[in-house]
């Protein structure tokens, strides 16, 4: 394992629950709406229509099967990556040969080895305790080989993605909110984030957000959080 485990930051424990019809995190008795739920509820109509068209074109039953398989594969992929990053791969896991493990190893070989020096946490709960509260779970918080704290997001994708796809921007917004929360909690100054993605036929992709693009994403992400709270207030008024 070429990186070290460093418990520099103490990430809180949290319970996920449904509160007033939406997924929330319970941190120290306070309720925080989840980042994924905020972004889902404020998604553009164009994106919602595109998803519905896909379901209709392929058939709702087939779409549900594909979504279920993708979700299960993604969950197992995350479990392998967490075990690898935290050096918890026991002999039994090491000997397994299956697709999610191969995908995890592809991500490690291409996006992690020689590119990080420390792992601060996996499945790290982060929350923002400002006027517009939110919380989420970052796949990994690491120190890069050039000594920059980064938040990583691991994704499985049935097919390779292009940078200009709206889903990549949505993933970027998710990471931007995690970064804002981490900076607020620990006084860090995160300057970039990365999506590390792999397809079932082991095509690896990395999408990095930094510099002006990253700053723009942070502003857009906070606007989406504000939009979410405005929608909630409007619904209460109806």
Give the per-residue pLDDT at 50. Answer: 60
Q: What is the DSSP letter of 160?
A: -
58 compared with 146, residue with greater pLDDT: 146
The number of C-alpha atoms within 13 Å of 25 and in the hemisphere containing its C-beta is 23
232 compared with 177, residue with greater pLDDT: 177
Rounded to 5 degrees, φ, ψ at 79 are: -65, -40
Give the per-residue pLDDT at 22. Answer: 73
Catalogue all structural domains in the chain, each as residue range(s) with its CATH number.
Answer: 4-237 (3.90.320)
- pLDDT grade, residue 23 (50/70/90)? confident
What's the order of all strands across the beta sheet hosting 15-19? 15-19, 22-27, 30-33
What's the pLDDT tens digit per position in 81-100?
Answer: 999 999 887 655 556 668 99
Gap between the Cα atoms of 55 and 190, Å rounded: 37
Percent of the chain with pLDDT over 90: 68
Give the per-residue pLDDT at 238. Answer: 33
Mean pLDDT of the chain: 89
Transcribe 25-42 into DSSP letters.
Answer: EEETTEEEEBHHHHHHHT
Give the per-residue pLDDT at 92. Answer: 54
- pLDDT grade, residue 21 (50/70/90)? low
What's the pLDDT tens digit per position in 105-157?
Answer: 999 999 999 999 999 999 999 999 988 999 999 999 999 999 999 999 999 99
Read off the pTM: 0.90
Contact 154, 78 (CB under 8 A): yes
For residue 210, what are its two tokens?
């930094």
- pLDDT grade, residue 10 (50/70/90)? very high
């Amino acid at each position: 394992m070429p990186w070290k485990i460093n418990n520099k930051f103490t990430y809180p424990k949290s319970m996920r629950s449904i509160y007033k019809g939406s997924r929330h995190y319970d941190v120290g008795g306070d309720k925080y709406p989840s980042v994924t739920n905020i972004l889902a509820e404020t998604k553009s109509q164009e994106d919602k229509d595109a998803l519905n068209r896909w379901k209709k074109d392929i058939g709702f039953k087939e779409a549900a099967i594909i979504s279920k398989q993708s979700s299960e594969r993604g969950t197992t992929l995350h479990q392998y990556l967490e075990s690898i990053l935290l050096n918890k791969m026991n002999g039994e896991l090491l000997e397994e040969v299956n697709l999610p493990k191969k995908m995890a190893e592809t991500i490690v070989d291409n996006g992690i080895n020689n590119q990080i020096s420390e792992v601060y946490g996996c499945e790290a709960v982060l929350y923002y305790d400002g006027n517009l509260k939110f919380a989420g779970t970052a796949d990994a918080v690491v120190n890069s080989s050039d000594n920059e704290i980064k938040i990583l997001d691991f994704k499985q994708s049935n097919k390779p993605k292009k940078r200009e796809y709206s889903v990549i921007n949505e993933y970027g917004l998710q990471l931007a909110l995690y970064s804002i929360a981490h900076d607020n909690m620990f006084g860090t100054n995160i300057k970039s984030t990365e999506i590390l993605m792999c397809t079932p036929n082991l095509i690896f992709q990395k999408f990095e957000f930094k510099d002006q693009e990253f700053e723009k994403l942070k502003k857009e992400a906070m606007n989406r959080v504000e939009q979410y709270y405005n929608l909630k207030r409007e619904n209460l008024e109806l």
